[in-house]
Amino acid sequence: MQNKYLYSLCMLLIIGALVVGATLILKNEETKEKEETDLTVVTSFYPMYVMVDNLTEGVEGIRLQNLSEPETGCLHDFTLTPEDMKLLSTADVFVINGSGAESFLEDVMKAYPKLACVNATEELEGLSEEVGMHAWLSSKLYAKEIRQVAKGLKALCPSASEQITRNEKAYLSKVKEIRDLAKEVKAQLKDKDISEVILFSEAYMGLAEELCLKTVCLLDLDEERQVSSGEVAEVMDAVANHPKSFLIAEDPYGKDTAETVKRQTGIPVLYLDTLTRGSYEKDRYIVGMKKNLETIREVIHEIN
């Protein structure tokens, strides 16, 4: 009798082990299949990440990662690290702004020639390099970038096409609110006969064009840029010759020079967000651009 019980116990243990083993094998196969069907999308920098994060919301099978951290900002002098190259080696899709913003693009495509690249500004014609490199700061151009990126993602992930289209429409409706606000600010500037601006960063050129503001003086300042006395004199002359202009700079890069000009001339100075860094929130662009436009609206009353 005892042998019979031992035999039954052994059989139960064997059956249990087989069931557990089969379950683990099935789970491993499911995990492997999921990994093989996942699409890894890497974005070149912060503005592209925020855009793609909105476009891929709720889409299964897409893994989104960003190449550079928010502190990096614009990519003019960005150098790829070994970690960046390792990340790109796992990517199926590389989403970029284009227009020269990613100076390292040639090296990436040489290292990974089969990597699919979605260029947000690829079909935007007639843009200067300066405007194209910072196209997201124009809500009009940003909407076009969204459509271009959505088109590329749907072509590479057709199974998610419907969800990406829904996300595209939803995000474009939010961007339209920013576009409408930009039109209001443009009309208010026109009513006050304000049509000129001084810029301390080329990043704002697209925004200036959207608001029909002519750039009468440009200094492209960054953390390493030293301003000469001749350049300061040039800015002073621009203020004197264009009394209804105002100055846009990026904090902190252009702040010292901008405050010097403000003290000596009284010109209104605005510090606007370039939207190249910050928290990874889906509404980061919407909130940031709305604040930029409201800041410009407020200064209109200071200009005589």
For 82-108, b where at least 16 C-beta lie within 10 A, e where not — what string? eebeebbeebbbbbbbbbebbeebeeb
Q: What residues have CB less than 8 Å from 172, skipping those under 6 apart?
A: 143, 146, 147
pLDDT by residue for the chain (304 residues), tens only, comes to 555 556 565 565 666 556 555 455 554 544 444 444 589 999 999 999 999 999 999 999 999 999 977 565 666 667 888 999 999 999 999 999 999 999 999 999 999 999 999 999 999 989 999 999 999 999 999 999 999 999 999 999 999 999 999 999 999 999 999 999 999 999 999 999 999 999 999 999 999 999 999 999 999 987 667 789 999 999 999 999 999 999 999 988 889 999 999 999 999 999 999 999 999 999 999 999 999 999 999 999 888 7
**Alpha-carbon Rg of the chain, whole angstroms?**
26
Homologous superfamily of domain range 181-302: Nitrogenase molybdenum iron protein domain (3.40.50.1980)
Start-end ranges of CATH 3.40.50.1980 in the chain? 37-175, 181-302
- Provide the 3-class DSSP secondary structure of residue 286: helix
Give the Cα separation of 23 and 16 in Å (integer). 11
Q: What residues have CB less than 8 Å from 117, skipping those under 6 apart?
A: 93, 94, 95, 96, 105, 109
Q: What is the CATH number of domain 37-175?
A: 3.40.50.1980
Give the Cα separation of 196 and 208 in Å (integer). 9
